[in-house]
Structure 1
Amino acid sequence: MTAAARPVLVVAEQLDAAADMVVDQLNRRDVPLVRIDAADLPQQVTLTATHDGDRAGWDGVIDDGHRAVRLCDIRAVYWRRPGRPVIDPAVAEPYRTWAQNQADAALLNLLSALRAVPWINNPHHDRLASHKPQQLVAAVECGLRVPRSIVTNDPAAARAFAKQIDGPLVCKPILGGRLPSVDGGRPLMVPTHRVSVDALDDSIRTTAHLLQEQIPKAFEVRLIAVGDAVFGATIHAASDRAGTDWRTDPDHLTYGTIPVPQDIASACLRLISVHGLAFGAMDFAVTPAGEWVFFENNPAGTWAWVENHTGLPIAAAHADYLTQGVLL
């Protein structure tokens, strides 16, 4: 099979706007692809792989009943927030959870064993890159400014930090993601929120907290890095809530584009490179003085809304990387 005829494997939920946009770009280029959702393994997707003990890699097939792809033919993998494998409910616990973990590990680790195949992004790398404390260290090493921060469950240490900052503070989750709803509704997001010195009481002891100095903002930037391309989308908040965490008040946001300064772009590309990534969705504040301050990198962050609001060609950059990009 020629390189041009080898398919890109897209592993994503069926209803994922970003994956849809990348698939559309690949289709426009007549690039063959196979799209599956890990949630369909093992009930709708069949996976078979063999190793003969001598070959450098695995040989096998992923088949969803409509299309099949040989592991050795996969030219690139776009892994975009797939669901977890769904096991037949007739399998009782704890075996159902065990079976789910087995299916999850089989798909991811067989694909990870492919050699010289570009990924956006290998989730093994995503997991390490998403840890906020080490992100801040890596960001500084790459040349970015970050907020002064403390992680603690000690009220006295939190109050001492507040005294040192001598200004507004925010508290944010150390680990991203959403909380399960208590009433079966939508999952709950824990937003970044302001905290007063008076709030730094014994409740700090309940768990570890990430406190940071509140950075003054002229506006914020969602910066998307894909391969060696960097895109900057501005987010202007028109409410106090949106100014603290723009995700909490989308009705009071306006969007635009901004050229990314070369030193910031180079630092961001170094940051994703040191984590073995090809993609990152990064959040910055731009201060009234024009300084860019890094908050975090989301290795599987959302970006479809950025392209929809700004027209930035992010999906095309994904397709460029998956068909021509450097190998990780």
Structure 2
Amino acid sequence: MDQSRGPVLVVAEQLDPTADLVVQALADRGVPVVRFDLAEFPAALTLAAEHGGELPGWRGRLCADRRVARLEEVRAVYYRRPGLPVLSPRVPDAYREWARSQALVGMVQLLTSLPVAWIHHPDVYRAAAHKPGQLVTATTAGLTVPRSYLGNCLESAREWGRSLGGELVCKPVAAASIDLPGEPPLMLPTRPLHVSELDESLELTAHYLQERVPKAYEVRLTVVGRRLFPVAIHARSAAAREDWRSDYGALEYEVVDVPRDVAAAVFRFMAAHQLNFGAFDFAVRPDGRWVFFECNPAGQWQFVAQACRLPVAEAHASLLQGATT
């Protein structure tokens, strides 16, 4: 089969504006696309695949309504935050979690066996998304990172915080929400913290603390393959200056240049994690030095692309269109 003429498989929620932009960019190039959400499987999506015989890989088809993808013809996969499988009500309660895990693991492991290029390969994403590990990789790559603490020992946290002068920030180490009765899920932002505020509640779970980095502005650096899309984020409110995700209405955007040494270190970071996409967050200190915070291997980029008219979706389409590795 000539995979260079085959479809790009898009695995994403149906209501995902970021995925929509990539699908449109592929359509503009005449690249066929088959899109589905894992939430459609197995109730509304049929998988039939075989292995063995002349072809070394899996062959078969994915079918949903009029959408059909032949596995052996897929040229690339764009995998972005799909939902979880939705089961038929006919599955007894005692078997539902088992059946859901079989559907999820079976589909994802089959897809990840396809010898094609990926953006957001699930295995690569999981390995690259760990914040403590990112700090090690970033330091090895040559990026400047904040001094950081992770743990639940109050005495050592206080000693560490005092050694930095007391000005800290506290941030989640993993993406998770707090569910309060009658309220929408609450995502905790990065917040300033003085060492004198540390108390016994720190002992109740792991806490992720960092030195408070003075900022002239922050940068969302979107990387697609070898293309860099750096956008400065200027915060115009106190909340946004601590965590710009807290107040999108107070943000202004500006395309900036990436220092050569930072760009080289970013590509070393990408290579270490085998990434071809990453949404990097940096602070730029008043002295101009770039400080790495984190890299989201499936991060948002449409807001900076729209604000600064950057061809990020087109860069995705180029990578997916030419993928045969």
Give SS of 1:289's match: coil
Residue in structure 2 matching 1:316, options 302, 314, 320: 314
State the partner residue of 1:80: 80
> Could you tell me which amino acid in structure 2 is paired with residue 130 of structure 1?
A
Contact 1:169 1:195 in 2 (8 A): yes
Give SS of 2:93's match: coil
Classify 1:196/1:167 alpha carbon distance in 2 versus 1 (closer, same or farther; 3 Å).
closer
State the partner residue of 1:10: 10
Classify 1:58/1:4 alpha carbon distance in 2 versus 1 (closer, same or farther; 3 Å).
closer
State the partner residue of 1:196: 194
> Could you tell me which amino acid in structure 2 is paired with residue 73 of structure 1?
E
Contact 1:49 1:58 in 2 (8 A): yes
2: CA distance, partners of 1:185 / 1:30? 45
Residue in structure 1 matching 2:222, options 218, 221, 224: 224
State the partner residue of 2:38: 38
Does residue 102 (structure 1) correspond to residue 102 (structure 2)? The answer is: yes
**Residues 282-319 of structure 1, C-alpha deviations (whole Å, 9 max, x = no match):** 10000000000000000111111111111111101100
1: CA distance, partners of 2:58 / 2:4? 22
State the partner residue of 1:237: 235
1: CA distance, partners of 2:130 / 2:182? 28
1: CA distance, partners of 2:302 / 2:323? 21
Classify 1:245/1:326 alpha carbon distance in 2 versus 1 (closer, same or farther; 3 Å).
farther
State the partner residue of 1:213: 211
Give SS of 2:57's match: coil
RMSD over aligned Cα, in angstroms? 1.5
Give the superposition deviation at 1:198.
2.2
Does residue 47 (structure 1) correspond to residue 51 (structure 2)? The answer is: no
2: CA distance, partners of 1:179 / 1:42? 28
Classify 1:94/1:295 alpha carbon distance in 2 versus 1 (closer, same or farther; 3 Å).
farther
Give SS of 2:83's match: coil
Contact 2:3 2:74 in 1 (8 A): no
TM-score (norm 1): 0.95
2: CA distance, partners of 1:157 / 1:220? 30
Classify 1:62/1:149 alpha carbon distance in 2 versus 1 (closer, same or farther; 3 Å).
same
Give SS of 1:217's match: coil
> Could you tell me which amino acid in structure 2 is paired with residue 62 of structure 1?
L
TM alignment of 1:34-183, pairs within 5 A: 34-52=34-52, 55-115=55-115, 117-176=116-175, 178-183=176-181
2: CA distance, partners of 1:42 / 1:157? 50
2: CA distance, partners of 1:62 / 1:185? 39
**Residues 54-112 of structure 1, C-alpha deviations (whole Å, 9 max, x = no match):** 74211111111212111110000000111111112342334212111111111111111
Structure 2: gaps (5+ residues)? none
**Residues 137-190 of structure 1, C-alpha deviations (whole Å, 9 max, x = no match):** 0001111000000111000011111111014100111112x3153335532111
Contact 2:4 2:322 in 1 (8 A): no
2: CA distance, partners of 1:262 / 1:73? 40
> Could you tell me which amino acid in structure 2 is paired with residue 85 of structure 1?
P
Give SS of 1:294's match: strand
Q: What percentage of aligned pairs have identical amino acids?
A: 48
Contact 2:75 2:323 in 1 (8 A): no
Give SS of 1:86's match: coil
Does residue 252 (structure 1) correspond to residue 261 (structure 2)? The answer is: no
> Could you tell me which amino acid in structure 2 is paired with residue 242 of structure 1?
A
TM-score (norm 2): 0.96
2: CA distance, partners of 1:81 / 1:149? 29
2: CA distance, partners of 1:312 / 1:282? 16
Contact 2:39 2:84 in 1 (8 A): yes
Contact 1:4 1:31 in 2 (8 A): no
